[in-house]
Each structure stands twice: as structure tokens, then as C-alpha cells.
Amino acid sequence: MLNTTKQRNACEVSTRNNQFLELVRKWNKTAGLVAPGDLQQLEDRHLHDSLALLDFVGNARTLLDVGTGGGFPGIPLAIAVPHIEFTLVERNLRKCSFLRHVVMTLDLTNVNIVNKDVRELARPSKGFEVITARAVAPPHRLWAWCRPLLAKEGRLLLQLSQSHPVPIENAEVNLHDSSGVGFIGVVRQAGS
């Protein structure tokens, strides 16, 4: 579970997330951050869904958000837990421009934006302790891309819409109900 002493206070988190959502609304038409129909449901469909991962982040020091798109779940998590160093990977240049603007505007010193495909990313020396992915690719493909980037005891957090078993070769998968916003799959190397 997350060490709450390392979280920002709830009022500051709420204020900064509201600023972030306003930036998403403002930039969406030019950067294609979320589906146009999702603009009315940003809080429920994207923000709460992102923050549902807090319980699974724990005391990690590094987190990679793969295919972050408009910054979900990476930006809301980075706002909530400033002690974690976040790397947000997105291959779309317009979305990266938006994300860099968000990082500067909200003074998110714990966030690094990388404009690449995750398959081109070099593994940091110790790997990432947590990797998140939301609506990027099928789970087995994400595992193949992300496994080389994980730290030895690292975990991949997948946000899934269904509770069906997710068979992934050489991995242990545990599904958790996420309070009405879908399911979170916690994927670890088999035997770790």
C-alpha cells in the first residue's frame, strides 16, 4: 500500500488535477488527447481511473507510463506522489508537446517526457519499479515490450475493462476490482 506521508495533501492534489483537466480540455481539439465524447467525463473516465492505481504503486521510486497519450495515468499519479520519478513515453509529437506544457505549467519536476515508441526505449540501469499501460496494446504484447524495462522485482500495471483471466507467458497475473472503473492487472515475472 502507498505510504500516505509521501503523498501531497488532498486539496493540492485536487487543485492541480483540476488545472490539468482544464489543460486537456483546452488542448484536446489540436492535440487529440482524448475522444471528443470523453471531454464531459474526464474526471470519471480518466482521472479517477488513473488514481485507482495509487494503491498498487506502493513505495516505488521509478515509474514508466507507456503510451501515455494525454497524460493518463502518468500526470495524475505524478501530481499525487511527487517522490516518484516518472517517465512518460508517447510516440505522438503533438501529445508530447502538450505534456511538456503541462509539466512546465504545473511545475512537475518529477516528470520526464520521452517522445519515442516504448520498443525503442533503453532500459535504465536498474529498470523501472512500476510500469503502467492503459489502452495501448493487448496484455501479452505489452508484457513482451515492457518486461525488459522492469526492475527485478518490478510490476506492470494494466488497466483492463474485463475480469477475464489474462494469460501471459512467463508471468503471474493478479486481477483486482477497481471500484467500478474496471480491473487492474498486476503482472510480475513468474517466480518473483
Q: What is the pLDDT along the chain (192 residues), one digit of tens a residue?
A: 444 445 568 888 889 999 999 999 998 888 777 767 776 777 777 788 888 899 889 889 999 999 999 999 999 999 999 999 999 999 999 999 999 999 999 999 999 999 999 999 888 888 999 999 887 888 888 888 989 999 988 999 887 766 555 667 777 767 666 555 566 667 766 555
Cβ contact 144:75 at 8 Å: no
* Average confidence score pLDDT of the chain: 84
The whole-angstrom separation of Cα 148 and Cα 12 is 35
Taking the chain, what is the end-to-end CA distance rounded to the nearest angstrom?
18
**Range list of β-strands (E), the chain:** 62-66, 85-89, 111-114, 128-134, 150-160, 171-177, 183-189
- State the pLDDT at residue 2: 43
pTM: 0.86
Q: What is the CATH number of domain 4-189?
A: 3.40.50.150
Match 513482451 to its residue by C-alpha cell.
144
The whole-angstrom separation of Cα 183 and Cα 172 is 16
Match 464531459 to its residue by C-alpha cell.
40
C-alpha of 59 from chain center: 15
Q: What is the pLDDT of residues 49-88, one digit of tens each?
A: 888 899 889 889 999 999 999 999 999 999 999 999 999 9
- Residue 135: CB partners within 8 Å, gap ≥ 6? 67, 159
The C-alpha angle with vertex 190 and arms to 126 and 76, in degrees rounded to 5, equals: 55
| Distances, alpha carbon 77 to alpha carbons 71, 86, 156, in Å | 10, 9, 15
